[in-house]
Amino acid sequence: MVDARRRGFITLLGGAAAWPLAARAQQAVIGFLYFGWPDTKIAATFQKGLNETGYFEGRNLAIEFRSAQNDTTRLPELAADLVRRKVAVIVAPSGTVALAARAVTTTIPIVFNTAGDPVQMGLVASLNRPGGNVTGVANLHMEVAAKQFGILRELLPKASRFAVLVNPNSQNVKSEIAEAQMASSAIAREIDVLTAGTDREIDMAFASLTQKRIDGLVVGPHSFFRNRRASF
């Protein structure tokens, strides 16, 4: 269910990225900037969304892929490189990438997909009137935190302690923690907040799960965690 929903978002993102291309030259160029390593499944689904709007790579479209390889410090230069190449639009499959792209251009359209609140992150002025050169899809993942913990409680009715793993470097970390705290009250269970922004901190966080005798864990929506699914 989660993978299907994510494919739907990225297909929609592909369609959204086609909007700025309509007024450009016949051979349009899209810049696709990853926070992690290139994902062939994401690329294929994204291209499917473009195909459905009449754009095909090698025919009337070229795609410039860039990867920060999970290194936030590389994003500004990679985004600037796409600007120098005069791409028609920059695709940012995470809020962190979108912020880096917006920092280097106010004219090239940026299309994002984020699990956080784009208004709170400062990406757009409002959901109904984003303004500027940035638009996209937001699934507001952490707003369902209470339901996620509620499911854990149903699966583990005797459990007394849960945890949420958040990235302290995320623009949405405060709201993620607040959502977890509200979920704690809603399900009448203690919820610990664990933080990790590096591989070492992930190892430390998981070690603390055993030490604190945590019964269940909800992992935050940051791309840093998504690119390390195998570690979980």
Query: Tens digits of per-residue pLDDT, 12-29?
Result: 555 555 555 554 546 789
Lowest mean pLDDT among 17-21, 26-30, 33-37, 202-206: 17-21
- If asked whether residues 191 and 79 sit together in one domain, one would say no
Going by C-beta distance under 8 Å and a sequence separation of 6 or more, which residues neighbour residue 69? 36, 37
* Whether the predicted pLDDT of 222 surpasses 50: yes
What is the reported pLDDT for 47?
87
How far is Cα 190 from Cα 153, in angstroms, rounded to an integer?
Answer: 11
Q: Give me the domain span that covers residue 202.
A: 142-231
Compute how many other C-beta atoms are within 10 angstroms of the C-beta atom of residue 150.
15
Domain boundary among 124, 139, 154: 139
Both structure tokens of 28 = 């349009």
* Whether the predicted pLDDT of 79 surpasses 80: yes
Domain boundary among 92, 109, 139: 139
Sign of the torsion formed by the C-alpha atoms of 145, 149, 150 and 152: positive
- Mean pLDDT, the chain, rounded, equals 83
Residue 7 vs residue 180, higher pLDDT: 180
- If asked whether residues 148 and 135 sit together in one domain, one would say no
| Contact yes or no for 108/93 (Cβ under 8 A) | no
- If asked whether residues 216 and 124 sit together in one domain, one would say no
- If asked whether residues 88 and 151 sit together in one domain, one would say no
How far is Cα 157 from Cα 150, in angstroms, rounded to an integer?
Answer: 10
Lowest mean pLDDT among 1-5, 110-114, 196-200: 1-5
Domain count, the chain: 2
- If asked whether residues 131 and 156 sit together in one domain, one would say no
- If asked whether residues 40 and 61 sit together in one domain, one would say yes
